[in-house]
């Protein structure tokens, strides 16, 4: 925040050096509270335009006319001070902070800086330090818990794991709900190139926000409501994340300022399910060497097994002789090891995961000149994940500079280059965890080679590998990589004039931005995958987005009470996406998993261009620093809509009223109070094509493969594609209202802010299922509506503020309720992901989204009905869980004791449910501790309140009594097998409290010219959740189903680390 003020001050004063009869005045400005230097304070001679700003050390040096009398020191958030100059040439001043929230300046839409008090809507700011206090290298998760009204769903603790950021709920069922990212004035892509689809197999795909290095961020402004983002038009209907990176604007003149930050972090698995360690692989109490389950005999009894025991007479002992106390392990024999071993218990899951290591470095050099500044940043992150073979290497470079060519002309540029390589592993149903967690405790997963002796391509593990690759084999043979190169940045020229008047000002700026990247994906399933010959898929996206932006801002101070602002602008966005894919399968021979070794090939290619042209305007009136009215309008013309339906206009209006400016409300308790309200409309365009032809594809239904494949005898067919496009498609429209208040008590001791917003989204664009008697199956049209109510509260308290001890804390609370109001006629639900059952979907009248699947059999009174054995039964398919939480609460606090600063961040999610296939399957496999305990017990009752059938009454209706039918421990396998058929049994409340971040910072050296800070931190080390042993945030999917569904998902990670920051 200070740095933005600094930037402004710099513009105002920094570059105007008057040559006259002068003397030099110098000094240092420090804070009255903590004695720390304040950089960026504007120092000027009263009544003149002569001035400068303090440097990073709070030091200023200014040539002033001999006859100067008074120096004015001003800084946003501090009380302006006038100092009588007299004959002094050395001035050391202390500044007192004033009510921070009052004059805070924020960057709003289109880079327009405004005082926060002038806004009629809510925006929220996260500073660079706050963002990186725990050295998180992933921007998405670094924001978690720090802002209200925003939901961040992370997918796992893997390096580069996708995160979904959603501001104030969803506006689209199946489309994009991600906010627009603006980095230094240029919109950049933040969403994944590739969606995870149903999200039940394969790997995760990184989102492109991964390319932003949090270490280079100066501050983030989040424009939450549509009124705040209206100037950006269509693309901003999901809110905007405005990122300002470090630049030379804050650097003082003179010698360059260098900073270097390095962090090391160790990652461990955040939580592990509890496993039983008594029972061996097998089923029905008998040992079975290829069973996927652990319902075998006691491990200690394996030597007595009739077929494999060394104590008994069987085929194996007949051949090898008796092996007392040992048993025969077929997989050891296949791997060429001595097959006879003493039964033992193996901690397979813990042995599998690595300790991850993340190292990140950031270097920045910045310098200010008389007529400009520059900044150069270099950063890298090298990370090895807790799952072997996963990792991320990322290199960032950025250069920005600015030059004042003349009094009226300024030019500048900013350019980022990022290259990254991400290695991943498969997740979900048949992913890598699916053969780690369920591995029987009797099986030595790490010790027995995962392939047969002499043939590294034939798998060897405890279970069949037709659908599930052996975990250790998979990390050696299946490779999933994403390589990306990206440039984004902009160049601009700015002209300003005051028309030689005191009260008019015009700034015209033209900026040309570009975001260009290429991402190369490679999925290799090695020779031997699923007992087959492997396959390889190489696919590449090359994307370029050019952004031309012209703005003219006019400011007119009509009189002392009235200020008029106007902005007019034009934005032109040109987007191109090239996709190429080469697919090969069935490698000719093993050992070379390369597309050139494939025996079957397929290739595909596509190119898509899009253009958006927007014209926008903004009118603002400010009256007596008390009433602020803002009106915006934007017209977008988009190529991706049908002809004659491409032009759309969206208005917004907002009003802020600082009632404490009125004498009537002036008091010492409520020192600042503002009421604000806004109304806005903004749309989202569809992705319209002219309906097209394609080659028909056969399969599905009863077919297990592809029964018919073109070309047939050299003939290829083309027929109209079953999904057709509505030529009268119109944009979906979001109407939003927002009301809120910002209150400051006791001059900043307590800051409270509340916002209520309501969004009504209608005419949602999606693929509406058709009556197929039309001859087509889906129509891309406007077909649904959804509404959101959201409440956001932030409360900041600074109870202690002394020189050597400071304590502050803040809460941010969000309650976001998203409801589906309407779907196109005949559409009852929309599939978002998952299996045929269970799945994640949107349904009319339900909160968005819900989990749908097989429920417990219930009677008319809604009670679960058990069968004669006391076992629960499968009922109808219905909504079995709601995903969205009741509320989220972030809590952050920091203590400063002398020079030690301790910060902590907690995040509480209350309510909401998810499907956890892992928990259910570990019971089903007999691997969970719970399954072992049930098995050992004499008997147990089905856990949920239930009833049993007692007979029928006179009307033939069934009668019920409370369930008291005990299930024998010996029937535990049947019990969990029954539960496994009932998806509702795997629905868990996933409320959680996480200590997301804790860090301790100490400035070891704090001298002029050298500052050294030491930092110790930890992330996600305390997780409390109702889902025992699983990270409630490790879920499937990088799309709208994320956060709802889990089934052998890759686990979450906890990190411990330390860092060093040097400034000189």
Which residue among 346, 443, 688, 852 contacts other proteins (CB under 8 A)?
688
Site string for other proteins, 727-746 (x = CB under 8 A): x-------------------
**Using the rule CB under 8 A, which residue among 98, 130, 469, 726 binds other proteins?**
726
Please say which residue, 458 or 639, places its beta carbon nearer to other proteins: 639
CB closer to other proteins out of 496 and 590: 496
Q: Is 713 in the site for other proteins (CB under 8 A)?
A: yes
Single out the residue of 708, 807, 711, 824 nearest to residue 764, CA to CA: 824
Distances (CA, A) of 828 to 345, 569, 761, 833: 50, 43, 18, 16
Q: Segment contacting other proteins (CB under 8 A): 236-244, 491-499, 808-816, 981-989?
A: 491-499
Of these, 176, 408, 458, 544, which contacts other proteins (CB under 8 A)?
408
Q: Yes or no: say if 722 and 652 are a contact pair by the CB < 8 Å rule.
A: no
Question: CA dist 778 to 691, 697, 766, 824, Å?
Answer: 11, 16, 9, 12
Check binding of 286 to other proteins (CB under 8 A). no
Q: Which of 79, 313, 588, 694 binds other proteins (CB under 8 A)?
A: 694
* 118 or 854: CB nearest other proteins: 854
Which of 20, 306, 662, 709 is close enough to bind other proteins by CB under 8 A?
A: 709
Q: Which of 725, 811, 852, 1045 binds other proteins (CB under 8 A)?
A: 725
- Contact flag: residue 1003 with other proteins (CB under 8 A): no
b/e code 820-835 from CB counts within 10 Å (16+ = b): beebbeebebbbbbbb
Integer CA distances (angstroms), 259 to 36, 377, 1063, in order: 18, 9, 4
The token pair that represents 1056 in the structure block: 């411990």
Residue 233 CB, nearest approach to other proteins (Å): 15
Q: Quick check: 923 and 979 in contact, CB under 8 A?
A: yes
Taking the complex as a whole, the smallest distance from the CB of residue 731 to other proteins amounts, in Å, to 14
| Alpha carbon separation from 651 to 92, 134, 547, 732, 1052 (Å, rounded) | 50, 40, 22, 15, 43
Name which of 485 and 874 has its Cβ closer to other proteins.
874
Among 36, 197, 707, 799, binds other proteins (CB under 8 A): 707
**Does 763 help bind other proteins (rule: CB under 8 A)?**
no
A 10 A CB-CB count for 651 gives: 14
Closest CB 200 distance from other proteins, rounded Å: 20
Range in contact with other proteins (rule: CB under 8 A) among 324-332, 720-728, 733-741, 1046-1054: 720-728
Q: Which tokens go with 148?
A: 């209200």
Q: Which of 603, 708, 897, 941 binds other proteins (CB under 8 A)?
A: 708
Shortest CB 778 distance to other proteins, Å: 10
Q: Smallest distance, Å, CB 204 to other proteins?
A: 26
Shortest Å distance, C-beta 861 to other proteins? 25
Min dist CB 639 to other proteins, Å, is: 4
- Please say which residue, 323 or 509, places its beta carbon nearer to other proteins: 509
Give whichever of 557 and 577 is closer to other proteins, judged by the CB atom.
Answer: 577
Per CB under 8 A, which of residues 628..657 are in contact with other proteins?
A: 637-640, 643-644, 646
Question: What CA–CA distance (Å, rounded) separates 243 from 221?
Answer: 6
Closer of 8 and 508 to other proteins (Cβ): 508
Residues 350-369 that bind other proteins (CB under 8 A): none
* 3-class state of residue 16 by DSSP: coil
Give whichever of 66 and 704 is closer to other proteins, judged by the CB atom: 704
Tokens representing residue 887 in the block: 């509320």
Q: Judged by CB, which is closer to other proteins: 454, or 711?
A: 711
Q: Who contacts 63 (Cβ-Cβ below 8 Å, separation ≥6)? A: 17, 18, 22, 23, 24, 25, 50
Residue closer to other proteins, measured from CB, 284 or 775: 775
Q: How far is the CB of 31 from other proteins (least distance, A)?
A: 41
| Distance in angstroms (rounded) separating the CA atoms of residues 169 and 181 | 17
By CB under 8 A, what part of segment 25-64 binds other proteins? none
Which of 360, 291, 458, 447 has its CA nearest to residue 142? 360
Q: Which of 66, 318, 606, 836 binds other proteins (CB under 8 A)?
A: 606
Contact (CB, 8 A) for 158 and 424 = yes
How far apart are alpha carbons 499 and 508 in whole angstroms?
13
| Ranges within 544-603 binding other proteins (CB under 8 A) | 550, 552, 570, 572
Q: Does 696 bind other proteins (CB under 8 A)?
A: yes
**Whether 676 contacts 739, CB under 8 Å:** yes
Task: Record the tokens describing residue 717, joined without a space.
Answer: 């067919």
Q: Which residue, 710 or 737, has its beta carbon nearer to other proteins?
A: 710
CB atoms near residue 809 (< 10 Å): 15
Could you say whether residue 698 binds other proteins (CB under 8 A)? yes
Q: Nearer Cβ to other proteins, position 764 or 1063?
A: 764
- Under rule CB under 8 A, residue 769 binds other proteins: yes
Pick one of 62, 241, 475, 724: the residue that binds other proteins (CB under 8 A).
724
CB of 222 to other proteins, least distance (A): 31
Residue whose C-alpha is closest to residue 541's, from 212, 194, 203, 209: 194
Rounded CA gap, 637 and 611, in Å? 8
Q: How far is the CB of 712 from other proteins (least distance, A)?
A: 5
Q: Which one of the spans 227-235, 279-287, 692-700, 992-1000 is the region binding other proteins (CB under 8 A)? A: 692-700
Region from 213-221, 242-250, 417-425, 702-710 binding other proteins, contact rule CB under 8 A: 702-710
For other proteins, the closer CB: 421 or 611: 611
Per CB under 8 A, does 836 bind other proteins? Answer: no
The rounded distance, in Å, linking the Cα atoms of 27 and 893 is 34
Region near other proteins per CB under 8 A, out of 105-113, 705-713, 891-899, 972-980: 705-713
Give SS3 for 894.
strand
Q: Closer CB to other proteins, residue 184 or residue 726?
A: 726
Near other proteins by CB under 8 A: residue from 19, 664, 669, 716: 716
Single residue of 613, 743, 865, 1050 touching other proteins by CB under 8 A: 613
Torsion-angle region of 199 (φ positive above 0: left; ψ -120 to 50: alpha; else: beta): left
Helix (H, G, I), strand (E, B) or coil at 488: strand
Q: Nearest to residue 43, comparing CAs of 66, 4, 16?
A: 16
Exposed/middle/buried for residue 49 (C-beta within 10 Å: 0-12, 13-18, 19+): exposed
- The number of CA neighbours under 13 Å toward the Cβ of 251 is 28
* Residues 772 to 831 in contact with other proteins, rule: CB under 8 A: 772-777, 779, 781, 825-828
Select from 1010, 1017, 1011, 1014 the least CA-distant residue to 1002: 1014
The answer to whether the CB of 765 falls within 8 A of the CB of 689 is no
Please identify, using beta-carbon distances, which residue of 220 and 827 lies nearer to other proteins. Answer: 827
Rounded CA separation 707/704 (Å): 8
Regarding 21 and contact with other proteins (CB under 8 A), the answer is no
Token pair recorded at residue 788: 């959101």
Q: Which of 21, 84, 321, 702 binds other proteins (CB under 8 A)?
A: 702
* Residues near other proteins (CB under 8 A), total: 75
- Closer residue to other proteins in complex, CB, 705/951: 705
CA distances from 11 to 7, 14, 107, 249, 365 (A): 6, 6, 16, 9, 21
Closest separation in Å from C-beta 765 to other proteins? 14
Scan residues 504-543 and list those touching other proteins (CB under 8 A).
Answer: 508, 510
Integer Cα distance of 461 and 281 in angstroms: 12
């Amino acid at each position: 925040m200070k740095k933005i003020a600094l930037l402004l001050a710099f513009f105002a004063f920094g570059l105007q050096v008057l040559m006259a009869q002068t003397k030099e005045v110098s000094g240092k400005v420090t804070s009255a509270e903590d004695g720390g230097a304040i950089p960026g304070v504007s120092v000027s001679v009263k009544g003149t335009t002569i001035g400068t700003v303090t440097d990073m050390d709070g030091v200023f040096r200014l040539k002033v006319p001999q006859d100067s009398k008074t120096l004015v020191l001003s800084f946003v958030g501090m009380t302006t001070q006038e100092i009588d100059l007299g004959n002094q040439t050395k001035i050391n001043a202390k500044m007192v902070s004033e009510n921070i929230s009052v004059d805070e300046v924020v960057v709003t839409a289109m880079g327009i800086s405004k005082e926060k008090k002038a806004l009629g809507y809510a925006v929220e700011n996260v500073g660079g330090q706050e963002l990186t206090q725990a050295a998180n290298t992933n921007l998405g998760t670094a924001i978690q818990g720090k802002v209200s009204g925003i939901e961040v769903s992370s997918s796992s603790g893997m390096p580069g794991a996708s995160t979904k950021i959603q501001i104030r709920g969803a506006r689209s069922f199946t489309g994009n709900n991600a906010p627009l990212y603006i980095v230094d004035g240029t919109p950049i892509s933040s969403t994944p190139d590739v969606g995870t689809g149903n999200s039940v197999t394969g790997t995760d795909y990184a989102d492109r926000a991964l390319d932003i290095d949090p270490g280079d961020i100066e501050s983030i402004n989040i424009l939450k409501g549509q009124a705040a983002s209206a100037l950006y038009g269509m693309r901003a209907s999901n809110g905007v994340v405005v990122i300002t990176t470090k630049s030379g604007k804050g650097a003082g003149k003179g010698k360059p300022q260098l900073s270097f930050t390095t962090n090391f972090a160790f990652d461990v698995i955040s939580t592990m399910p509890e496993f039983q360690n008594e029972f061996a692989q097998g089923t029905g109490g008998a040992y079975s060497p290829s069973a996927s389950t652990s319902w075998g005999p006691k491990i200690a009894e394996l030597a007595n097994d009739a077929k494999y025991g060394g104590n008994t007479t069987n085929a194996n002992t007949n051949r090898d002789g008796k092996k007392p106390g040992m048993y025969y392990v077929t997989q050891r024999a296949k791997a060429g090891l001595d097959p006879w071993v003493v039964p033992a218990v193996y901690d397979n899951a813990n042995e599998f995961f690595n300790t991850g290591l993340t190292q990140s470095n950031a270097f920045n050099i910045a310098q200010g000149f008389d007529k400009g500044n520059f900044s150069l940043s270099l950063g890298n992150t090298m990370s090895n994940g807790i799952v072997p073979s996963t990792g991320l290497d990322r290199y960032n470079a950025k250069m920005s500079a600015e030059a004042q060519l003349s009094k009226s002309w300024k030019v500048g540029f900013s350019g980022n280059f990022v290259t990254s390589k991400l290695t991943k592993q498969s997740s979900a149903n048949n992913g890598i965890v699916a053969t780690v967690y369920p591995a029987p405790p009797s099986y030595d997963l790490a010790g027995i080679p995962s392939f047969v002796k002499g043939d590294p391509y034939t798998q060897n593990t405890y279970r069949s590998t037709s659908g599930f690759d052996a975990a250790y084999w998979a990390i050696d043979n299946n490779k999933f990589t994403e390589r990306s190169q990206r440039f984004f940045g902009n160049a601009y020229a700015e002209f300003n004039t005051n028309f030689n008047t005191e009260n008019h000002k015009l700034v015209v700026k033209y900026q040309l931005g570009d975001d260009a990247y290429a991402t190369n994906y490679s999925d290799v399933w090695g020779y031997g995958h699923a007992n087959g010959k492997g396959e390889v898929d190489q696919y590449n996206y090359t994307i370029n987005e050019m952004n031309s932006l012209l703005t003219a801002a006019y400011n007119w101070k009509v009189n002392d009470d009235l200020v008029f602002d106007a902005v007019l602008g034009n934005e032109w966005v040109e987007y191109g996406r090239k996709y190429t894919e080469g697919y090969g399968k069935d490698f000719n021979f093993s050992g070379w998993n390369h597309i050139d070794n494939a025996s079957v090939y397929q290739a595909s290619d596509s190119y898509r261009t899009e253009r958006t042209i927007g014209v926008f305007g903004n009118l603002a009136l400010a009256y007596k620093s008390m009433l602020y009215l803002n009106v915006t309008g934007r017209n977008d013309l988009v190529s991706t809509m049908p002809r004659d339906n491409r032009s759309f206009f969206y208005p917004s209006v907002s009003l802020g009223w600082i009632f404490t400016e009125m004498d009537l409300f002036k008091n010492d308790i409520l020192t600042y109070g503002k009421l604000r309200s806004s109304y806005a409309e903004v749309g989202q365009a569809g992705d319209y094509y002219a309906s097209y032809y394609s080659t028909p594809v056969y399969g599905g239904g009863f077919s297990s493969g592809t029964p018919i494949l073109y070309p047939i005898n050299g003939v290829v067919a083309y027929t109209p594609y079953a999904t057709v496009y509505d030529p009268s498609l119109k944009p979906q429209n979001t109407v939003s209202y927002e009301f809120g208040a910002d209150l400051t008590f006791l001059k900043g001791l307590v800051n409270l802010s509340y916002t209520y917003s309501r969004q009504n989204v209608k005419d949602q664009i999606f693929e509406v299922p058709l009556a197929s008697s039309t001859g087509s199956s889906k129509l891309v049209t406007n077909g649904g509506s959804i509404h959101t109510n959201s409440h956001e509260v932030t409360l900041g308290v600074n109870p202690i503020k002394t020189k050597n001890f400071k304590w502050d804390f803040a809460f941010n609370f969000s309650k976001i309720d998203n409801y589906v109001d309407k779907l196109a006629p005949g559409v009852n639900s929309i599939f978002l992901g998952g299996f045929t059952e269970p799945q994640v979907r949107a349904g009319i009248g339900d909160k968005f989204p819900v989990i749908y699947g097989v429920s417990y059999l219930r009677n008319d009174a809604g009670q679960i009905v058990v069968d004669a054995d006391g076992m629960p039964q499968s009922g109808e398919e219905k909504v079995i869980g709601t995903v969205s939480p009741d509320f989220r609460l972030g809590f952050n606090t920091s203590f400063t004791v002398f020079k030690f600063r301790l910060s902590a961040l907690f995040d509480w999610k209350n309510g909401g449910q998810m499907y956890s296939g892992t928990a259910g399957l570990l019971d089903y496999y007999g691997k969970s501790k719970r399954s072992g305990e049930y098995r050992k017990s004499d008997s147990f009752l089905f856990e949920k309140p239930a009833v049993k059938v007692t007979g029928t009454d006179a009307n033939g209706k069934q009668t019920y009594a409370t369930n008291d039918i005990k299930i024998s421990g010996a029937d535990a396998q049947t019990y969990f097998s029954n539960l496994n058929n009932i998806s509702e049994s795997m629905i868990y409340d996933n409320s959680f409290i996480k200590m997301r971040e804790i860090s301790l910072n100490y400035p070891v050296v704090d001298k002029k010219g050298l500052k050294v800070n030491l930092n110790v931190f930890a992330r996600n080390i305390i997780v409390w959740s109702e889902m025992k042993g699983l990270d409630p945030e490790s879920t499937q999917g990088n799309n709208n189903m994320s956060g709802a569904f889990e089934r052998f998902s890759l686990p979450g990670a906890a990190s411990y680390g330390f860092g060093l920051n040097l400034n000189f």
